[in-house]
Structure 1
């Protein structure tokens, strides 16, 4: 009967239910980590039986993929430019500011990222592919901002992994002590360092 009603109203009810499950999974993973999160705990949070949850997500791994995809919808890591050109560097500042307003999402992502380094973790392939994509996006961003060489002489491809590392690493520090680490301000400082000329030190050496 539930399935017939769901079909009768199109897929909207089913999509809403799936979205509700993903949001609850985000919360449970943030609280317990992926390995500590169970389908039963997620089902209980949305008022379903575990069997009812399996109707939407047949495995824990399929739910994890949905969680990562949901998170990436808000992040430049997976947002493609659709021919509109590279993401401006200023947009990354806005993204860091936005992340500072959603600690639960950042906590979930960071927890999964930390766990995914183990070889058998189901999120490992997702993060490996994500980082490959993000590094390419960040290189495009840097090239759009500075051209083929940054003021310090480095190529966008050389600096892109560093830019990604700063963004993700700041999140860990901020989650541990948000009062001590002003994540948006620190990131803006880092961006200003990218724009600093690297020939001042060289000039001093030549003199």
Structure 2
């Protein structure tokens, strides 16, 4: 189904209820992203917002009655791009920041309503998936030391499952890829901005050349 279409997200949950008889967990992990500098294309921005943000909200909203009945959990897979801005990913960053704001607020609303549904905000680091490797090797110019530190997709999935089972409000994996720089960004935006500006020319040279 097309996650850019709200009707399809609703149909997906309806089909899951029909086949499974209910839901205990809802893991929101699909994403669309572009490595390109912002060019003012609002239509493209609306499409990525529909896939990466609106569909997450729609799926969670439609599944919430079943999850409430089961005292279940929602896992929202975000990114370090939801913690701070990354050049050439402005649209993607916008969707991930939106997810953080919405689901953090929703968690508090569920607490207020005494609904026993956990929301785990899962922030993965650099993952060595097939798609991720193709982007790093094709669109970006990443140093070998970075590529060597990519996390295993299997281990990342296991960390997600454990975090959801423990009903954590937020989880990082690998911790070292995301948490230290998030802390630095919180303490000093200026220093974080400077570091990003110094690193960007290294990995964005191919993106710049393509545009």
Normalized against structure 2, the TM-score is what? 0.32
- Structure (1 or 2) with the greater strand fraction: 2
Normalized against structure 1, the TM-score is what? 0.32
- Structure (1 or 2) with the greater helix fraction: 1
Q: Which has the larger radius of gyration?
A: 1
